[in-house]
Amino acid sequence: MAAFRLGVNYWPRRSAMAMWKQFDAAEIRDDLARIASWGLDYVRFFLLWEDFQPEPSRLDAVMRDRLIAFVDAAAAARLACMPTLFTGHMSGVNWLPEWTLDPSIGAGRFRTINARGIRAHGAGDFYAGALLDAQLRFARAAGTWLRGHEAVFCWDLGNEFSNLRRPRNPRAAADWSARLTEALFEASGFGSTGGLHGEDLSEDRAIRLGSISSPWICASMHGYAAYSAFARSAADAEAVVFLHDLARTLSGKPVQFTETGTPAAGASVAVGGLDEREASAFCSATLDGLQRHGALSAAWWCFGDYVPALAATPPFDLAPHELSFGIVRADGTEKPVADTLMRFAAERRTVVEAPPTLDIDEEAYYAGLPASLVRAYSAYTRG
């Protein structure tokens, strides 16, 4: 039986999304060793697009060396890695190289930020054309850098990429996925998945899980009760398990649940959170439910709360709840959720046969959103 992988999403507490620019190898080694000491299996981490590809035809050699150092450190800690390309969207901000911006559109719902500061425009159509050509260049280079590396087990094409820009249609998204997946496999020898999220299932973003995930080794889903309008509360672990089952139904593939978690209680007026004991109970129920429903893995968001000095900087200046999702507090002490993760890891559970898929037709489901999601969850909780 295959092992159920248990992981964590990682940015350092002191630098957050500035990790690659402020690369602290000693801090990273210490953090990865700590993650391994909890008994976790893998770390999902993020290649901030501008840092690695400052120009369409140029990859940064310093960032290449830092990426290899990171993955080597994970190998030394006996952790597997899921590198996430084209980041891209992260924690309520779209971090985009200047050359990817479309001057004909505004930034939209999420701020666009790069080395020049806050930018007025959003992403160009990266699913095709020159921007896709540039992504393929990055994918082939990154694949070559990590080819055959003992720590890598899977690529992630991007983090919640529909938040950057929605594809023109489902075929464009599927073609983008197929070309990048092929390029990464040819260059590295590793398969891919992609960081889909709850909003790809709560509204029609011209993404169809069956077609976009067709070339992937498995589907991937993110979900948070606190962010899910259909959830009964911020502690509704069943809402997360439902998103897994829905993703498995619509993709026709087994699913890695690569993000779930909860912000701290009182962290934001707009986002409901849980206190540390409630978060620990939510974690336990979520992991148990995902494993019992046939998930391949689960990864908690995220390793640590960020230090107070980052509170005035993006993305935290406008999204203070993003400071407080950690397994460890900003001072490095462990929250109760760390014990929950350790206990679950010690059980060494395996991947089990999933229950029957949901009785949902994909096209009818998307045509009926958002009411179809509410109806599906209501039927799901009635059993």
The string of pLDDT tens digits covering residues 228-258 is 999 999 999 999 999 999 999 999 999 999 9
Instruction: Tell me the percentage of the chain whose pLDDT exceeds 70.
Output: 98
The residue count of the chain comes to 383
Distances, alpha carbon 375 to alpha carbons 3, 358, 361, 368, 369, in Å:
34, 12, 13, 10, 10
Report the phi/psi class of residue 338: left, alpha or beta, with left for phi > 0 and alpha for psi in -120 to 50.
alpha
pLDDT per position as a tens digit, 109-134: 999 999 999 999 999 999 999 999 99
21 contacts 51 by C-beta, under 8 angstroms: yes
Distance CA 161, CA 145 (A): 23
Cis before 315? omega within 30: yes
Cβ neighbourhood burial of 309 (10 Å; 0-12, 13-18, 19+): exposed
**Domain locations in the chain as residue ranges:** 5-358
In the chain, the N- to C-terminal Cα span, in Å, equals: 28
pLDDT per position as a tens digit, 97-112: 999 999 999 999 999 9
Distance CA 349, CA 364 (A): 36
For residues 72-104, b (16+ Cβ closer than 10 Å) or e, as one string? ebbbebebbbbbbbbbbbbbbbbbbbebbbeee
- In sequence order, the β-bridge partners of residue 196 are 221
Residue 198 DSSP symbol? T
Distance CA 262, CA 272 (A): 9
Mean per-residue pLDDT, 210-239: 96
Domain 5-358, what fold? TIM Barrel (3.20.20)
Q: Which residues contact 365 (CB under 8 A, 6 or more apart)?
A: 250, 372, 373, 376
